[in-house]
Structure 1
Amino acid sequence: MRNLVIGNLPQNRRSLNLGEYAEDATLVMEEQPTKEKRPLFIEANTMEATLDHLKSDCIIPVFAKDNEATLSHVAFIETVQDAARTFFQGEQIELPDIRVSHVIKGRIPEAIHKPANQLLESDKTIYYERCAFVIEIPTIY
């Protein structure tokens, strides 16, 4: 294309020196607003908890009459998570926001007769009487 000659048009090239009009460019970047974590339910007398805490630090209570295990908080939350992932396949499913309250403290059987001031951390057990959780699916609104 450089050797293309068109009819009787002048073949001299002019270069415009616009450098005197040029300025340094200033990039303006719009910052994405940080998503503020807002409470999704009443937080009154509850504490935030994680699935790991519920799995590793909490016991599973049993029914007194027959010593059968109850449904643990972790098992219920994980079942709902699995159901949400299956039902809302392809959507973004966030980690659960978990709140607990009404802690019930206990002891392992070997520490039943120890005075409270001699209990080791490994002798103590905890269970939360109440547990609430929310699983957000932000891609659905």
Structure 2
Amino acid sequence: METLQITPVMAQRRSLNFGEYAEEATLVMEEQPTKEKRPLFIEANTIEASLEHLRNDCIIPVFAKDNEATLSHVAFIETVQDATRTFFQGEQIELPDIRVSHVIKGRIPEAIHKPANQLLESDKTIYYERCAFVIQVPTIYETVNGNRLTLTIGGVRAYNHTNLYSKKTAERFKVF
């Protein structure tokens, strides 16, 4: 198993440690933009999702031959989020922006013989074949040609890259 090491390149940190001169210093803070929704990092054929939706409303697919569960999108996102908090301890880390696509619809075993028009909401199941997310660290940034670029960490997971019709094998995750 290889160890993933994330190293910020050309990161600029703001320090408000004025040391012994704090009484004489004048603190000038950058004006923070109003809390508008950031532009989406990917639009195309995706929809926005929350961790709560993925955790509470979606099932976790299994490998058909041995019924072993795959790693869920939530587990992947929370693992990267935890690694980000640990590695960049003391920095401001935002909640992940999550986009999903290719909904896979199903039904619970008790509703297997019901006609589709008679299914109750409690009979239906879903999961998303593809999931992408980004986590921004706004306190680590670089200004390039007047544009502020913040450190962004993200990942992509697509169940279609995993053969769910066989036994459990190595699963693919993309981290950037």
TM range (shorter): 0.7 to 0.9
Structure ranking higher in strand proportion: 2
Partner of 1:139: 139
Q: RMSD value over aligned CA atoms?
A: 1.4
How many residues are paired up? Answer: 111
Q: How far 1:53 sits from its partner (Å)?
A: 0.2
Q: How far 1:38 sits from its partner (Å)?
A: 3.2
Partner of 1:113: 113
Q: How far 1:37 sits from its partner (Å)?
A: 3.0
Partner of 2:39: 39
User: Does the aligned pair in 2 maintain the 1:40–1:134 contact within 8 Å?
Assistant: no
User: Does the aligned pair in 2 maintain the 1:47–1:100 contact within 8 Å?
Assistant: yes
* TM-score, scaled relative to structure 2: 0.60
Q: How far 1:39 sits from its partner (Å)?
A: 2.9
Runs of 4+ in 1 over 2 A off after TM superposition: 35-42
Counting only pairs closer than 5 Å after superposition, residues 38-117 of structure 1 correspond to structure 2 as: 38-117=38-117
Give the aligned residue type for 2:51.
Answer: L
Q: Cα deviation per residue 1:91-139 (whole Å; 9 max; x = unaligned)? A: 0110000000000000001100001111111100000000000001100
- State the identity as a percent: 93
Give the aligned residue type for 2:86.
Answer: T
Name the CA distance, whole Å, in 2 between partners of 1:78 and 1:129: 18
Give the aligned residue type for 1:49.
Answer: A
Give the aligned residue type for 1:111.
Answer: A
Give the aligned residue type for 1:52.
Answer: E
Unaligned runs of 5+ in 1: 1-30
